Amino acid sequence: MDFAAIARLSTEHPKPIGLELQYGTAGFRSKAEQLDHIMYRMGLLAVLRSKQTKSTIGVMVTASHNPEEDNGVKLVDPLGEMLAVAWEEYATCLANAEEQDITAVLQDISQKERISLMQEAFVAIGRDTRPSSETLSQAVIDGVTAFGAQYHDYGLVTTPQLHYIVCCRNTREQYGTSTVKGYYQKLTKAFAELCKQASSYGDTPRGVKVDGANGIGALKLKEIENYLQKECLIELFNDGTKGKLNCACGADFVKVQQKPPQGMEMNPNEKCCSFDGDADRIVYYYIDSAGQFHLLDGDKIATLISTFLKELLIKVGLNLKMAVIQTAYANGSSTRYLEETMKVPVYCTKTGVKHLHHKAQEFDIGVYFEANGHGTVLFSKTAEEKIRQLAKGEVDAEKKKAAKMLENTIDLINQTVGDAISDMLVIEAILAVKSFTVQQWDTVYTDLPNRQLKVKVADRRVIDTTDAERCAVTPPGLQEKIDELVKKHSLSRAFVRPSGTEDVIRVYAEANTQENADALAHEVSLAVF
Ligand code: NG1
Ligand code: ZN
């Protein structure tokens, strides 16, 4: 192993003096100009992880919904999951090591994890459309090659496309063909099959307006359109030709601001959706004839999908355990509707996709969505086998049809990670099959008015939480104050937690009216000081 080469090349990717960064819920995120050394080092770490797992590891250069000037990087584990938690610590350690210590840190990790350095390694690299992403992904490549490993640069891809590719490569193409074209073919085939089941198929072409957040999702949507038949007419806005990435548009803007993105022509009652900057989140919305904005976020998406799946499961007569996984940000109405009306068990985990993903793996079918629109569905191996068996078996026509629809849904959903393109196609197919308009979907339950606020404090780590972040244990007395404030309103709930991606405390409140939700959020944010 040529550690001298690693050390030599690392001087070309120097760490700014005193800069300390942490591998958080979404990998490293910072101003792009602070990240060159991080990229080089994550190239090195990906090689180590690849040697350890004897699999392809992914490296995605993106800062998702953050401003265009930011960038970031996350590693993708063998089956397309987020990097294992133990390795997040190694990532932080390697990122913050002084230059002369880099090889020692690498050797230390190798020893701890008993990694054979002779083992071959392969890294799959992808990037978003940020101006800084190309140079930064070159720094990742420098790290990979300094370590003497092989790589493939997939160039401009969405985050979920890279997760898909990594999974395909490591399952010997069982999950699909490990190319972007393979991804389009897999998804569009399943989508066409599912849409065929819609009784209205062929009568009225169904359309959706998409806000591409001026990012990679827009680019990739244009590509997938070439593979789609006429099942879905996509009208793309914010495609990156005029506006700036995530600037007054995109899923995060729409969800947090609770208003339409700029750059989109919306007519009353038209179905619209927004992707985020790396296309792993999606939210839907429309404006009604009175001009009022209606948001259909991750909770509404989870409800639509789980209801659809439950109805099909009843038809096929399979006794599979299904659950919905949410976080504390899930609207109280959605949880109530799922538990009380749909009789679907709901679990709450800490914020961050990896927590939801792990919980969802405990069920035959785990539907997980963050309220912000990041989510997917996981099918256990057993569930998948049973469904595929029924779909090709000698069963009555109705049963077979339902089994096939479940099978198509399995193939349409990107099980590796939340995926705006895949989720959009799942939603469009379900709406077509159920002959549902976006308004009908919206009225399934009514969201409780809610408000999210950010509070800047000297040190956000003074707040520690428990009970899936719904209860503050420190500083002393804070939770009691919040409880007092919550009691003043009806149908209310509020919590605070330190953000894992920004230097702020997040405040969430819901109540019976928007005024009360706003007031409660404001009162709670004052209590944080
Ligand atoms: P933080 O900053 O920890 O709240 C945000 C989102 C998460 C998740 C991560 C990663 C909210 C309230 N939080 O985390 O759900 O998506 O970013 O992107 O939306
Ligand atoms: Zn994202």
Atom index in ligand 1 nearest the CA of residue 498 equals 3
Alpha carbons within 13 A on the beta-carbon side of 105: 21
Residue 409: predicted pLDDT: 98
Kind and range of the H or E run holding 43: helix 36-53
Residue 181: predicted pLDDT: 98
Separation of CA 422 and ligand 2 centre (Å): 14
Q: Which residue has the tokens 């699909």?
A: 176
Are 47 and 149 in contact by the 8 Å Cβ rule? The answer is yes
* Whether the domain at 3-156 and the domain at 298-419+429-442 fall into the same CATH topology: yes
| pLDDT over 70 at 200, yes or no | no
Alpha helices by DSSP H, 147-229: 159-170, 180-196, 216-225
- Here the tokens at position 93 are 């350690």
CA atoms of 391 and 403, how far apart (whole Å):
5
Closest among 505, 501, 492, 502 to 465, alpha carbons compared = 505
The ipTM value here is 0.98
DSSP state of 376: E
Residue 24: predicted pLDDT: 87
| pLDDT over 80 at 202, yes or no | no
Closest among 348, 345, 384 to 369, alpha carbons compared = 348
Kind and range of the H or E run holding 150: strand 150-156
Residue 337: predicted pLDDT: 98
Residue 204: predicted pLDDT: 58
Q: What is the pLDDT of residues 449-483, one digit of tens each?
A: 999 999 998 889 899 999 999 999 999 999 999 99
Considering only residues 500 and 14, tell me which one the structure prediction assigns the higher pLDDT: 14
- Here the tokens at position 237 are 């806005």
Are 347 and 326 in contact by the 8 Å Cβ rule? The answer is yes
How do 322-327 and 206-211 pair as beta strands?
unpaired
| pLDDT over 80 at 264, yes or no | yes
Q: Which of 137-148 are b and which e, b meaning 16 or more Cβ less than 10 Å from the residue's Cβ?
A: bbbbbbbbbbbe
> Could you tell me which CATH class the domain 182-295 is placed in?
alpha beta
**Nearest ligand for residue 245 CA:** 2
Residue having the nearest C-alpha atom to atom 9 of ligand 1 = 352
- Where does the pLDDT of residue 258 fall: very low under 50, low under 70, confident under 90, or very high at 90 and above? very high
Are 510 and 448 in contact by the 8 Å Cβ rule? The answer is yes
Atom index in ligand 1 nearest the CA of residue 255 equals 19
Q: List beta partners, residue 474.
A: 464
Over residues 484-494, mean pLDDT: 96
DSSP string, 225-249: HTT--SSEEEEEE--SSSS-TTSS-
* Three-state SS sequence of 96-137: HCCHHHHHHHHHHHHHHCCCCCCCCCEEEEEECCCCCHHHHH
Residue 203: predicted pLDDT: 53
| pLDDT over 60 at 46, yes or no | yes
Q: What is the pLDDT of residues 5-16, one digit of tens each?
A: 999 999 999 999
Cβ(334) – ligand 1 distance below 6 Å: no
**Three-class DSSP category at 454:** strand
Which residues are annotated as catalytic?
64
Separation of CA 423 and ligand 2 centre (Å): 13
pLDDT winner (highest mean) among 18-32, 326-340, 393-407: 326-340
Atom index in ligand 1 nearest the CA of residue 370 equals 15
Q: What is the pLDDT of residues 81-117, one digit of tens each?
A: 999 999 999 999 999 999 999 999 999 999 999 999 9
Binning the chain into helix, strand and coil, the percentages to the nearest 5 are 45, 20, 35
Over residues 222-239, mean pLDDT: 91
Percentage with pLDDT > 90 across the chain? 93
| pLDDT over 60 at 201, yes or no | no
**Which residue ranges make up each domain of the chain?**
3-156, 182-295, 298-419+429-442, 450-527
Separation of CA 350 and ligand 1 centre (Å): 10
Residue 487: predicted pLDDT: 97
Cβ(501) – ligand 1 distance below 6 Å: yes
| pLDDT over 80 at 378, yes or no | yes
Amino acid present at 133: S
Residue 427: predicted pLDDT: 97
Mention every residue, 6+ apart, whose C-beta is less than 8 A from residue 114.
none
Are 62 and 128 in contact by the 8 Å Cβ rule? The answer is yes
The packing angle between helices 180-196 and 420-433, to 10°, is: 10
Cβ(506) – ligand 1 distance below 6 Å: yes
**Nearest ligand for residue 279 CA:** 2
CA atoms of 246 and 255, how far apart (whole Å):
13
- Here the tokens at position 359 are 């919980």
Cβ(22) – ligand 1 distance below 6 Å: no
Separation of CA 277 and ligand 2 centre (Å): 6
- Here the tokens at position 55 are 């699999």
CA atoms of 11 and 99, how far apart (whole Å):
7
Amino acid present at 339: E
CA atoms of 437 and 446, how far apart (whole Å):
16
CA atoms of 126 and 290, how far apart (whole Å):
43
Are 274 and 282 in contact by the 8 Å Cβ rule? The answer is yes
- Here the tokens at position 320 are 């599979």
Separation of CA 64 and ligand 2 centre (Å): 4
| pLDDT over 60 at 205, yes or no | no
- Per CATH, domain 3-156 is 3.40.50.300: no
Q: Which of 474-495 are b and which e, b meaning 16 or more Cβ less than 10 Å from the residue's Cβ?
A: eeeebbeebeebbeebeebbbb
| pLDDT over 80 at 231, yes or no | no
Q: What is the pLDDT of residues 276-319, one digit of tens each?
A: 999 999 999 999 999 999 999 999 999 999 999 999 999 999 99
Are 339 and 346 in contact by the 8 Å Cβ rule? The answer is yes
Residue having the nearest C-alpha atom to atom 5 of ligand 1 = 501
**What architecture is domain 450-527?**
2-Layer Sandwich (3.30)
CA atoms of 309 and 304, how far apart (whole Å):
9
CA atoms of 309 and 364, how far apart (whole Å):
12
Atom index in ligand 1 nearest the CA of residue 252 equals 19
Residue having the nearest C-alpha atom to atom 8 of ligand 1 = 352
**Nearest ligand for residue 62 CA:** 2
Are 26 and 33 in contact by the 8 Å Cβ rule? The answer is no
Q: Give me the phi and psi of 347, to 5 degrees please.
A: -120, 150
Distance of CA 512 to the CA centre of its chain: 29
Q: Which residue has the tokens 């894992």?
A: 500
> Could you tell me which CATH class the domain 298-419+429-442 is placed in?
alpha beta
Distance of CA 495 to the CA centre of its chain: 22
Residue 94: predicted pLDDT: 98
